[in-house]
């Protein structure tokens, strides 16, 4: 399982002794969910400081696939504060446990408009600056392939495509059975032919 993590350290020196404050946030890099179902966005953290319900705050922000800006869609400080308006109203539940260093949330009845990047940030003073982890959510329709890996542009450009009726056939691959995701296409390799079907993102 791939995880995204980052770390912020503040170092203070006093009489030759360094004190390091740091917080790490861990999230799953990519998650897929079927339209209309629920999906858990996992976020855990570690901190050099003691954890308590009174000190830790958690925020979740969302950046859609069509926008570069982010919007706050969940906040936790002693109690959960789900969104009261916008596309996420009624769709976000707190699934975390601060004392277990878990800041996860669950999206219910997911919609195609939920496609995008979710950013989890945890603050635990004096780890005041916190740290962030990102998860990309892809919402697909029931029956569509959901297991995907990445191919780079150079690999795809060297292949041959034939598109007809929403299906793309790709020749020139020598590999075992696998699924790939590239842009709007989900592909499954079978024998000597890679059959690809359009995929919503």
Domains along the chain with CATH numbers = 3-140 (2.60.40.10), 153-198 (no CATH)
Residue of higher predicted confidence among 89 and 7: 89
Q: What is the mean pLDDT of residues 195-199?
A: 43
Q: What is the mean pLDDT of residues 166-193?
A: 39
Which of 25-39, 66-80, 134-148 bottoms out in mean pLDDT, i.e. has the lowest? Answer: 134-148
Asked if 135 and 117 touch (Cβ cutoff 8 Å), the reply is: yes
Asked if 127 and 49 touch (Cβ cutoff 8 Å), the reply is: yes
In our burial notation (b when 16+ CB lie closer than 10 A, e otherwise), range 93-132 reads ebbbebeebebbbbbeebeeebbbebbbbbbbeebeebbb
This prediction has a pTM of: 0.65
Asked if 175 and 164 touch (Cβ cutoff 8 Å), the reply is: no
Give the model's pLDDT for residue 144: 67
Strands annotated E in the chain: 3-14, 17-28, 30-34, 39-41, 43-47, 57-64, 71-77, 79-81, 92-94, 105-107, 116-124, 127-140, 160-164, 167-171, 179-182, 185-190, 193-198
Q: What is the mean pLDDT of residues 34-54?
A: 96
Tell which residue, 78, 62, 82, 81, has the closest CA to residue 70.
62
- 42 token code pair: 């996992």
Calculate the dihedral angle through the C-alpha atoms of 187, 184, 149, 35, rounding to the nearest 10 degrees: -100
Q: What is the mean pLDDT of residues 16-25?
A: 60
Q: What is the pLDDT of residues 117-155, one digit of tens each?
A: 999 999 999 886 767 999 999 999 987 644 444 444 443
Average pLDDT value over all residues in the chain: 73
């Amino acid at each position: 399982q791939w995880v995204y993590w980052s770390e912020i350290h503040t170092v203070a020196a006093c009489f030759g002794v360094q004190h390091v404050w740091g917080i790490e946030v861990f999230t799953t890099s990519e998650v897929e969910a079927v339209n209309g179902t629920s999906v858990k966005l996992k976020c855990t953290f570690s901190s050099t400081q003691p954890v308590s319900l009174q000190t830790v705050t958690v925020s979740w922000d969302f950046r859609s696939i069509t926008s570069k800006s982010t919007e706050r869609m969940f906040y936790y400080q002693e109690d959960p504060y789900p969104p009261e308006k916008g596309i996420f109203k009624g769709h976000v539940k707190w699934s975390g446990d601060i004392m277990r260093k878990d800041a996860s949330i669950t999206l219910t009845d997911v919609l195609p408009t939920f496609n995008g990047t979710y950013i989890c940030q945890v603050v635990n003073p004096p780890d005041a600056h916190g740290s962030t982890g990102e998860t990309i959510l892809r919402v697909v329709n029931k029956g569509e392939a959901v297991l995907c890996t990445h191919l780079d542009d150079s690999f795809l450009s060297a292949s041959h495509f034939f598109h007809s009726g929403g299906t793309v056939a790709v020749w020139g691959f020598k590999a075992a059975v696998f699924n790939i995701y590239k842009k709007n296409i989900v592909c499954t390799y079978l024998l000597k032919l890679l059959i690809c079907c359009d995929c919503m993102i």
